[in-house]
Amino acid sequence: MPDAHATLTRILHGSAYRSEAVEEVLPLVYDELRKVAAVTLRKERAGHSMVATELVHEAYLRLFGGEQPRYTDRRHFFATAAIAMRRLLVEHARRKQAGKRIPEQAVVPLDKAPEPAEVVDVDVLALDEALTALAEFEPRMAQVVELRYFGGLTESEVAEVLEVSRPTVSRDWQAARLWLRRKMGP
């Protein structure tokens, strides 16, 4: 696996200058992105109309669809992919709810902070609003939640992406979950 990681980092590092990088990167990241998308969608409400394949393809288009981005390495790429997936899910939820009133009993509160592998229904719009508010005064905590919840990364992987210690990520994760529970309410 280290060879694949090194190859991906090499391609990503030079991706801002080569349009072929888009075709080279997909086979190296598709399976992992698909797993992240599947985990992320399992946390959504039952009967969600978006499927993992669609989420991966839409996120990939965001990552490489416009101007050629410059990713420093594999970690940077997957962190950016997690952000793209979050935005796609929020946009999808907004489109679905446009012009509709949500019955109060349909909104499930974030009363128990989920681990990445748990299946938990969460109002993605409320979570997005709460994360945006959290990012205003604790941006790293918001990043930890984004990478853990939407990206499916472990504490160790988040620590690597954010270049902080694993205990720092653990503290941020616990504090952010508590803050989100209070912000989003029962």
Residue 34 in contact with residue 52, Cβ under 8 Å? Answer: yes
pLDDT digits (tens, 9 = 90+) for 41-94: 777 766 667 788 888 888 888 887 766 667 777 777 888 888 888 888 888 877
CA–CA dist 145, 131 (Å, integer): 8
Pick the range with the lowest mean pLDDT from 149-153, 156-160, 169-173: 149-153
Q: What pLDDT is attached to residue 117?
A: 41
CA–CA dist 58, 51 (Å, integer): 11
The residue with tokens 């499930």 is 108
CA–CA dist 1, 66 (Å, integer): 29
CA–CA dist 41, 165 (Å, integer): 28
Cβ neighbors of 11 (< 8 A, separation 6 or more) are 21, 24, 25, 28
Q: What pLDDT is attached to residue 17?
A: 47
What pTM, to 2 d.p., does this model score? 0.58
More confident residue, 161 or 66: 161
Q: What pLDDT is attached to residue 122?
A: 66
Q: pLDDT-derived band of residue 125, with 50, 70 and 90 as boundaries?
A: confident
